[in-house]
Structure 1
Amino acid sequence: MTPMLTDMSADRLDALIKHPFHRENGERLIGFIKDLRECHSAEDFVTFQRQLLQATLAVNLARAERSRVIKRLRKRQLLPADAPDLVVGDPHDLDDWRLEADALERVARQLRSVGDAMAWRAFRYDRRYIFALRRNESPGPMTLNKKGTLHEIQFVEKQWNENGRFALLHDITDCLRIGDVTVFHDRQKGEQDVYLYELKTNPRRRESVQLTRTRLAAEALHIGGPLPGPDKAVLIDTGVPYTTHLSALSDAFAQAHQNGLKTMRVPGQRGLLAFDIVAAGNKWGEHERGRQFHAAYAALLRRMRLTGQKICFGSGDSAARNTMAPPWGIYPLQPAQCAGLIADVLVFTVTLSSDNFIEELGKQGLDAQWVLPSGAEMGPAQPVVTIQGHGRQVTMARAGLEQLLLELTDLQSWARGMDRLLQEGAAGWQPWPYFTEEHKVWV
Structure 2
Amino acid sequence: MAEIIPRVFKGPGIASGVDKTAVVNRRDRHTGGMSLFDADAYDPDDMMVHPRHQAMQPVLAQLIQQLRDCETVEAGVEFQRDLLNRVLEVEKDRAGFKRAAKRMRSGKGPHPEAPEPQSGRDLKDVATWRFEQEVCDRLARQLRSVGDALAWRVFGFHRPFILALCRNDSPGLMYGKAGLRAELDHVERAFKEDGAFALLHDLTNCLRIGDITVWDGVHPPRTEEIKTNPNNTKSAQLRRIDQARTAVLEGGPLPGGSASELLYDLDLPLRTHLNVLRDALQRAATEGIYATPVPGSRALFVIDQYACTEQGMSSKQFNEHLQHAVDGALQRAGIAAGRENYNIHVTSLDSTARDPLRVPWANYPLHPVTCARLIGDYAVATVETSGPVLARLLQASGLDARWVRPPGNADLQQGEVIMEIHQQERLRSVPLPGGLTMTPGWTLQMRRSELDRYLMELLQPGSWVAGIKNVLSARQAGRPWPHFRNEHEIWV
- Structure 1: gaps spanning 5 or more residues: none
Matched, 1:357 2:390: yes
* Equivalent in the alignment of 1:269: 297
Q: Is the 8 A contact 1:379 1:398 kept in 2?
A: no
Q: Is the 8 A contact 1:269 1:356 kept in 2?
A: yes
Which residues in structure 2 correspond to 1:14-413 (within 5 Å)?
A: 14-89=45-120, 90-143=122-175, 145-187=176-218, 193-231=220-258, 232-285=260-313, 287=315, 288-306=317-335, 307=337, 309-375=342-408, 376-389=410-423, 391-413=441-463
CA distance in 1, matches of 2:83, 2:265: 33
Please point out which of 465, 468, 474 is paired with 1:424.
Answer: 474
CA distance in 1, matches of 2:78, 2:390: 45
Q: Do the aligned partners of residues 69 and 11 (structure 1) sit closer, same or farther apart at CA in structure 2, a change above 3 Å counting? A: closer
Q: Is the 8 A contact 1:62 1:104 kept in 2?
A: yes
CA distance in 2, matches of 1:100, 1:63: 7
Letter in 1 for 2:321: Q
Offset at residue 285 of structure 1 (A): 3.0
* Equivalent in the alignment of 2:15: none
Offset at residue 33 of structure 1 (A): 0.7
Letter in 2 for 1:318: S
Q: Do the aligned partners of residues 435 and 88 (structure 1) sit closer, same or farther apart at CA in structure 2, a change above 3 Å counting? A: same
CA distance in 2, matches of 1:100, 1:315: 23
Offset at residue 254 of structure 1 (A): 0.8
Which secondary structure does the structure 2 equivalent of 1:193 belong to?
coil
* Equivalent in the alignment of 2:485: 436
Q: Is the 8 A contact 1:281 1:289 kept in 2?
A: no
Letter in 2 for 1:386: E
Offset at residue 5 of structure 1 (A): 5.4
Cα offsets for 1:72-124 (capped at 9, x unmatched): 11112122232222223333221221221111111000001010011001111
Q: Is the 8 A contact 1:310 1:351 kept in 2?
A: yes
Q: Do the aligned partners of residues 35 and 95 (structure 1) sit closer, same or farther apart at CA in structure 2, a change above 3 Å counting? A: same
Between 1:396-405 and 1:308-317, the stretch displaced more is 308-317
Tell me: higher relative CO, structure 1 or 2? Use CA pairs within 8 A at least 6 residues apart.
Answer: 2
CA distance in 2, matches of 1:377, 1:341: 24
Between 1:415-424 and 1:59-68, the stretch displaced more is 415-424
Q: Is the 8 A contact 2:101 2:130 kept in 1?
A: yes
Q: What TM-score results when the alignment is normalised by the length of structure 2?
A: 0.85
Letter in 1 for 2:457: E
Offset at residue 300 of structure 1 (A): 2.5
Q: Is the 8 A contact 1:314 1:347 kept in 2?
A: yes
Offset at residue 18 of structure 1 (A): 0.8
Which secondary structure does the structure 1 equivalent of 2:53 belong to?
helix
Q: Is the 8 A contact 1:79 1:92 kept in 2?
A: no
CA distance in 2, matches of 1:112, 1:290: 33
Q: Do the aligned partners of residues 5 and 290 (structure 1) sit closer, same or farther apart at CA in structure 2, a change above 3 Å counting? A: farther
Letter in 2 for 1:365: G
Which secondary structure does the structure 2 equivalent of 1:112 belong to?
helix
CA distance in 1, matches of 2:37, 2:407: 23
CA distance in 1, matches of 2:41, 2:312: 16
Q: Is the 8 A contact 1:116 1:174 kept in 2?
A: yes
Which secondary structure does the structure 1 equivalent of 2:216 belong to?
strand
CA distance in 2, matches of 1:286, 1:77: 42
Which secondary structure does the structure 2 equivalent of 1:100 belong to?
helix
Offset at residue 43 of structure 1 (A): 1.4
Offset at residue 56 of structure 1 (A): 0.5
Number of corresponding residues = 437
Which secondary structure does the structure 1 equivalent of 2:137 belong to?
helix
Percent identity of equivalent pairs: 40
Q: What TM-score results when the alignment is normalised by the length of structure 1?
A: 0.94
CA distance in 1, matches of 2:261, 2:89: 38
CA distance in 2, matches of 1:20, 1:358: 46
Q: Is the 8 A contact 2:225 2:233 kept in 1?
A: no
Q: Is the 8 A contact 1:110 1:343 kept in 2?
A: yes
Q: Do the aligned partners of residues 426 and 305 (structure 1) sit closer, same or farther apart at CA in structure 2, a change above 3 Å counting? A: closer
Which secondary structure does the structure 2 equivalent of 1:138 belong to?
coil
CA distance in 2, matches of 1:319, 1:226: 28
Offset at residue 24 of structure 1 (A): 0.7
Q: Is the 8 A contact 2:293 2:332 kept in 1?
A: no
Q: Is the 8 A contact 1:181 1:196 kept in 2?
A: yes
Offset at residue 238 of structure 1 (A): 0.8
CA distance in 1, matches of 2:396, 2:489: 26
Cα offsets for 1:312-334 (capped at 9, x unmatched): 11110001011100001101111
Offset at residue 286 of structure 1 (A): 5.0
CA RMSD of aligned residues (A): 1.8
CA distance in 2, matches of 1:299, 1:325: 28
Which secondary structure does the structure 2 equivalent of 1:78 belong to?
coil
